[in-house]
Amino acid sequence: QSVLTQPPSVSGAPGQRVTISCTGSSSNIGTGYDVHWYQQLPGTAPKLLIYGNNNRPSGVPARFSGSKSGTSASLAITGLQAEDEADYYCQSYDSSLSGSVFGGGTKLTVL
């Protein structure tokens, strides 16, 4: 049971828009800690995709965007491409656990 809750899977056709939710609580996202997102392609290490709720590191396409409200956050991917098929994880800091916490991960399938 992960501290942050994500849907196990989402899917979409090429060109479509999908969103992945991340729900936390008052000891993490709700306290004001930022949410970050990672993309993990099959057989590879995670890669930072979105940091500080809605910022993209250099090299990440603008098709990826993030948002945060209350105790939840979302990752949106527009113009879905085959190479977006991967696992996506949200992450934040939890003050009651005194450490970083991750969501359980969401597997994105491009139909």
Binding site for other proteins (CB under 8 A): 2, 33-34, 36, 38, 44-48, 51-52, 57, 89, 91, 93, 97-105
Instruction: Decide: helix, strand or coil at residue 82.
Output: helix
Rounded Cα distance, 39 and 45, in Å = 9
- Report the nearest approach of other proteins to the CB of residue 2 (Å): 6
- Report the nearest approach of other proteins to the CB of residue 15 (Å): 28
Q: Which C-beta is closer to other proteins: that of 100 or that of 109?
A: 100
By CB atoms closer than 10 A (0-12, 13-18, 19+), residue 77 is buried
- Report the nearest approach of other proteins to the CB of residue 25 (Å): 17
Count of residues making up the chain? 111
